[in-house]
Amino acid sequence: MKPRSTLFDEAFLRRLEHLDLVTRRPVAGHLRGSHRSRRTGTGMVFADYRPYSEGDDTRNLDWGIYLRLDRLILRLFEEEADLPVYLLLDTSASMGHGEPGKFDFARQIVAALGYLALRNYDRVSAIAWADGVASELSGRRGRTQVWPLFRFLEGLTPSAGTDLNAALRGTFGATRTRGLVILVSDFLDAAAFAESARWLRQFRHEVVAFHVMAPDELEPDLPDQVELQDAETGQALVLESTSQLLEAYREEMARHCKDIENACRREGWSYLLAKTDAPFEDLMLMALRRAGVLR
């Protein structure tokens, strides 16, 4: 009997089953999977030619070239490999706010993508981070690992501040195989996102950034005189919410989102602004498809 989860209902899981993850570049992997690998081998997809050397599999010789050029040329095929998927979920205190809640929305994104990856026999790692790495579910593969993933996500609570740079440095290093990084956060980090992106670029991961925002963060509705209290730092900010100030806020928030999107585009990553009041199914089935994450 499968353990019950509150993150998804059965109908939603069934609708995701026919989707698959796809990457647009070959990735390195140790295990066979349905994803293209940079290794040439016994796959079906042609990769290149090279001169035949002793010991090569004669089944891959191109006999047409030999008849024309009188040279033994070997056809190389890409070997299909499994895809390491890194699910990085922001669990900072700021994720615990917003209406509808950002944290639940983000956990649903992570859970859905993890589910799809596990169904596709990919190796999935889930990393909860805030001002550093908070907790990690190490690489799992196979659909039986779906429920441990869900339980891991359900056990998380938002707390502490946000330091994406520290979290990435704590997560990635030489031991991490290149793969697909799903980064889910509100990116309310004092440090510039571009700096973190530059650091992550060296590992040549495929990155999809989900920018989770609540409607009241994009269009705040505040009383005239208000004291804003920061959930992460506890800092209080007294202001008079005039229409001019609200307009300036909206412009600054749009600029903030645009900066993150531009940084992603520069690195060749995918960026998705995920509003928590948008239907989750639409986001998963349409937005990911449009971004090239789903096929």
Residues that bind other proteins (CB under 8 A): 93-98, 102, 162, 186, 188-190, 214, 217, 222-233, 235-240, 242-245, 248-249, 252-253, 256
CA angle (260, 252, 89) in 5-degree steps:
40
Nearer to other proteins, 1 or 236 (CB): 236
Q: Specify the residue, 76 or 246, whose C-beta has the smaller distance to other proteins.
A: 246
Q: How far is the CB of 184 from other proteins (least distance, A)?
A: 15
Residues 6 or more apart in contact with residue 167 via CB below 8 angstroms: 88, 127, 129, 130, 131, 132, 133
Our CB check for other proteins shows the closer of 120 and 196 to be 196
**Residue among 158, 165, 182 at smallest CA distance from 94:** 158
CA 163 to chain centre: 17
- Rounded to a whole number of angstroms, the minimum distance from the CB of residue 187 to other proteins is 10
C-beta atoms surrounding 279 within 10 Å: 9
Half-sphere exposure in the Cβ direction for 195 (13 Å, CA): 10
By C-beta, is 9 or 224 nearer to other proteins? 224
Number of other CB atoms surrounding residue 212 within 10 Å = 24
Which is nearer to other proteins, 31 or 231 (by Cβ)?
Answer: 231
Q: Give the nearer residue to other proteins in terms of CB position, either 82 or 261.
A: 261
What span, in angstroms and rounded, lies between the C-alpha atoms of 37 and 31? 10
Work out how close the CB of 267 gets to other proteins at its nearest, in angstroms, rounded to a whole number: 22
Shortest spacing between CB 233 and other proteins, in angstroms: 8
Q: How many CB atoms lie within 10 A of CB 156?
A: 19
* Cβ 226 to other proteins shortest distance, Å: 5
Element housing 265 (H / E):
helix 243-267
Query: In the complex, what is the shortest distance from the CB of residue 253 to other proteins, in angstroms, rounded to a whole number?
Result: 5
